Amino acid sequence: MNLALFDLDNTLLSGDSDFEWSQFLIERGVLDKELFEAKNLGFYEQYKAGTLDIHAFLDFQLKPLSRHKRKELDQWHADFMRLKVRPMMSVAGKKLVAGHRAAGDICVMITATNSFVTAPIAQAYGIEFLIATEPEQKNGEFTGHVYGVPSFREGKITRLEAWMMQHDWTWGSFSDTTFYSDSLNDLPLLALVKNPVAVDPDDTLRVHAEDRGWRIMSLR
């Protein structure tokens, strides 16, 4: 039994769904452009630099979910998938996932982006399991807060190992483990798997991968 882990943003997608969701809400007039666009860009730059305060970002990212009913959010997300996400889904990324599925591998999308944004994307790729940052919900509506450990940096390992325990698996349960990612923020998890793969990597990850002889590939 093999485990294939896929980061989402700038890995399977040729863009960042977290960033684009906020931009989509700004374009729709749901969020005020003057107040939110600069903050959204600032957080995205911090993420790319490896300096992101995940809790400050989640406070920014999840609060808008609490201001609208789930039915309305779901309607917006359907448009978001059609207009923003599907154009970022590469043919090569779809083939990569399909190859692992055809081989019978356990496929997991593991992402820092919240599950409201990413669950439909995982479904579109045919990936059965999703480990994402979880927005807190009460009575089916979002509270604007995070639930549990964010799936970010070392938090991805915490969440992944908790998921393994739910299935009575350990690292030793898998003959092979592969993780595809573009980001320096995923170095902790990349260092744990047997086959770390740098996908269209940022500069820091590229140097790290080259120094260690990790596979480097492009899905663009």
How far is it, in rounded angstroms, from Cα 184 to Cα 66? 31
Q: What is the mean pLDDT of residues 194-210?
A: 97
Tokens representing residue 124 in the block? 């579109």
The mean pLDDT of the chain is 94
Q: What is the mean pLDDT of residues 33-59?
A: 84
Please report which confidence band the pLDDT of residue 47 belongs to, taking 50, 70 and 90 as the band edges: confident
168 is an active site residue:
no
Which position has the higher pLDDT, 75 or 40?
75
7 is an active site residue:
yes
Residue 17 confidence (pLDDT) above 80: yes
The architecture of the domain spanning 2-217 is 3-Layer(aba) Sandwich (3.40)
How far is it, in rounded angstroms, from Cα 218 to Cα 220? 6
Helix (H) / strand (E) containing 135: strand 129-138
In this predicted model, what pLDDT tens digit does every residue of 139-161 receive, in sequence order? 989 999 999 999 999 999 999 99
In this predicted model, what pLDDT tens digit does every residue of 52-64 receive, in sequence order? 888 888 888 888 8
| pLDDT value of residue 174 | 98
| pLDDT value of residue 20 | 94
| pLDDT value of residue 32 | 84
| pLDDT value of residue 168 | 97
Break the chain into its structural domains and give their ranges: 2-217
- Among candidate residues 9, 18, 105, 202, the one labeled active-site is 9
Q: What is the mean pLDDT of residues 76-101?
A: 96
Q: What percent of the chain has pLDDT over 90?
A: 80
Count CB atoms within 10 A of the CB of residue 174.
18
pTM of the complete model beyond 0.85: yes
| pLDDT value of residue 43 | 85
Q: Which of 137-141, 160-164, 169-173, 197-201 is least confident?
A: 137-141
Q: What percent of the chain has pLDDT over 70?
A: 100
| pLDDT value of residue 99 | 97
Residue 35 confidence (pLDDT) above 80: no
Burial track 12-41 (b if 16+ CB lie within 10 A, e otherwise): bbbebbbbbbbbbbbeeebbeeeebeeebe
Please report which confidence band the pLDDT of residue 94 belongs to, taking 50, 70 and 90 as the band edges: very high
